[in-house]
């Protein structure tokens, strides 16, 4: 199959919507990352999504809607907290887990009686959903376990020849995935930190349970496989250094120097300030932006990780970041991309 790269003109979006209605797969930009879309009510399209990604059938998909008013298409009951959050944050980077309507195939929800719903804020995603006139199931448009795509080039690097088309809408503005909140538990449970911060959620609905990081045993239960420990992963070794800021920088210098002395090619993925402090070392580096700007660091994270990975370093280093606001999601993705976590 030849994967078509489409622009964002109305004609291209109409073509993409037509492909979706016919059961084909189309990748498209959202405000978080690129999604791999297929008609949510078409079992064959859903099966094709899992096949194209190499995703285990036990990992459920998010259903994307043009508007919150479409929720009754996929759910039998809207929990009051879900209604409050939809009013506050949709369209936007928030996915709400609600009871599944029988018309949503069980293959979408991996057999669950709940379904994940999201109304994306990206204009291209919105136009596509309106034109398709149907709920669109869309996981991130990467091969399973890889780093999520924030550009059409990233999508093609993983899925060229496996999907009908990708709409190239440029780099995605938020850069990390949506927050996933289970609204069927009381209090609601944060399953994946993302583009809407925990602080923003609690300001609207009060207390939220934060799901502890799963153990390998629990992963078999698959409460949300996006929580799988090693996920969002680069191809090369990534060591994440945690602890007090000054100690972290000293430890990175120490480990990087030791690796260099051993003849290894060393990469670092760090805030600007840290890179400046390490500039005497011969490192392959990718800058995330100033540490004071988590939104910019989020936007750059996956592209920087891919770019560094492509330079074939024997070992990469990153640092743990502050957990406030978007930092929680950044920290979560770094921990899951890491092959090794070290306390400085
Ligand atoms: O920002 C995003 O959410 C992107 C864009 C494309 O919308 N999508 C995305 O999809 O990240 P995906 O499939 O990569 O991640 C969806 C996450 C997974 O961790 C999945 O396990 C969880 O949502 N999920 C989906 N349905 C669920 C359900 N019924 N119960 C619990 N977790 C669910
Ligand atoms: Mg994903």
The DSSP code sequence of 118-184 is E----HHHHHHHHHHTS-EE--BSSSTTBPPPSSHHHHHHHHTTTSSEEE---S-SS-SPPEEEETT
Q: Mean pLDDT in runs of 10 for the chain (344 residues)? A: 96 98 98 98 98 95 98 97 98 98 98 98 98 98 95 98 98 98 98 97 97 52 48 86 93 98 98 97 98 96 96 96 93 92 93
Dist. CA 170–CA 24, nearest whole Å: 22
Q: What does DSSP assign to residue 59?
A: S
Nearest to 194 by CA among 82, 73, 30: 30
Which pLDDT score is estimated for 109?
A: 98
What residues pair up with 190 in beta bridges, in sequence order?
181, 210
Ligand 1 site, residue 224, Cβ cutoff 6 A:
yes
Q: pLDDT value at position 213?
A: 62
- DSSP assignment of 209-234: EEPPPPPHHHHHH-S-GGG-SS-SB-
State residue 229's pLDDT score: 58
pLDDT at 187: 97
Is the CB of 5 inside a 6 Å radius of any atom of ligand 1?
A: no
pLDDT, residue 231, reads 67
**Ligand that comes closest to the CA of residue 30:** 1
Buried b / exposed e over 138-148, threshold 16 CB at 10 Å, is bbbbbebebbb
Minimum-distance ligand 1 atom for the alpha carbon of 227 = 19
| Ligand 1 pocket residue status of 114, Cβ below 6 Å | yes
Least distant ligand from the CA of 146: 2
Nearest C-alpha neighbor of 25 from the set 1, 57, 60: 1
Q: Is the CB of 286 under 6 A from ligand 1?
A: no
Rounded to two decimals, the pTM is 0.94
**CA atoms 272, 275, 276, 282: torsion sign:** negative
Note whether 124 and 66 are within 8 A (CB): no
State if residue 184 touches ligand 1 by the CB under 6 angstroms criterion: no
Q: Cite the beta strand spans of the chain per DSSP E.
A: 4-6, 26-29, 34-39, 62-64, 94-99, 114-118, 136-137, 165-167, 179-182, 189-192, 209-210, 237-242, 266-270, 284-287, 315-319, 340-343
Nearest ligand, CA of residue 35?
Answer: 1
Q: Give residue 171's region: left, alpha or beta (phi > 0; psi -120 to 50).
A: beta
**Does ligand 1 have an atom closer than 6 angstroms to the CB of 179?**
no
Residue 118 Cβ < 6 Å to ligand 1: yes
Report which protein residue has its CA nearest ligand 1's atom 3.
178
Q: What is the DSSP letter of 111?
A: T
For residue 138, the ligand 1 atom closest to its alpha carbon is: 6
Which residue among 53, 55, 62 is best mutated to probe the pocket of ligand 1, counting the most ligand atoms within 8 A of its Cβ?
Answer: 62
Residue with tokens 């805030």: 271
Q: Is 177 in the pocket of ligand 1 (CB under 6 A)?
A: yes
């Amino acid at each position: 199959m030849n994967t078509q790269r489409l622009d964002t003109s109305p004609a291209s979006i109409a073509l993409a919507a037509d492909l979706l209605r016919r059961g084909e797969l189309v990748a498209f930009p959202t405000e978080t990352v690129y999604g791999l879309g297929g008609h949510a009510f078409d079992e064959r399209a859903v099966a094709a999504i899992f096949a194209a990604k190499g995703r285990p059938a036990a990992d459920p998909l998010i259903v994307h809607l043009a508007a919150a008013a479409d929720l009754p298409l996929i759910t039998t009951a809207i929990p009051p907290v879900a209604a409050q959050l939809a009013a506050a944050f949709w369209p936007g980077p928030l996915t709400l887990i609600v009871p599944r309507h029988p018309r949503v195939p069980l293959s979408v929800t991996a057999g669950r009686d709940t379904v994940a719903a999201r109304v994306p804020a990206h204009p291209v995603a919105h136009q596509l959903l309106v034109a398709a006139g149907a709920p669109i199931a869309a996981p991130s448009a990467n091969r399973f376990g890889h780093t999520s795509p924030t550009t059409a080039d990233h999508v093609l690097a993983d899925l060229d020849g496996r999907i009908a088309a990708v709409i190239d809408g440029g780099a995605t503005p938020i850069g990390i995935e949506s927050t996933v909140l289970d609204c069927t538990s009381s209090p609601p449970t944060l399953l994946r930190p993302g583009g809407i911060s925990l602080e923003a959620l609690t300001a609207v609905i009060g207390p939220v349970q934060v799901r502890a990081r799963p153990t390998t045993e629990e992963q078999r239960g698959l409460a949300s496989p996006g929580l799988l420990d090693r996920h969002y992963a680069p191809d090369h070794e990534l060591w994440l250094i945690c602890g007090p800021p000054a100690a972290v920088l000293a430890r990175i210098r120490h480990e990087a120097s030791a690796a260099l002395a051993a003849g290894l090619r060393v990469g670092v993925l760090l805030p600007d300030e840290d890179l400046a402090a390490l500039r005497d070392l011969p490192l392959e580096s990718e800058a995330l932006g100033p540490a004071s700007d988590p939104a910019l660091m989020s936007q750059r994270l996956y592209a920087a990780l891919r770019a560094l990975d492509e330079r074939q370093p024997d070992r990469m280093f990153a640092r743990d970041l502050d957990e406030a606001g978007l930092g929680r999601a950044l920290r979560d993705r770094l921990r899951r991309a890491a092959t090794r976590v070290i306390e400085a």
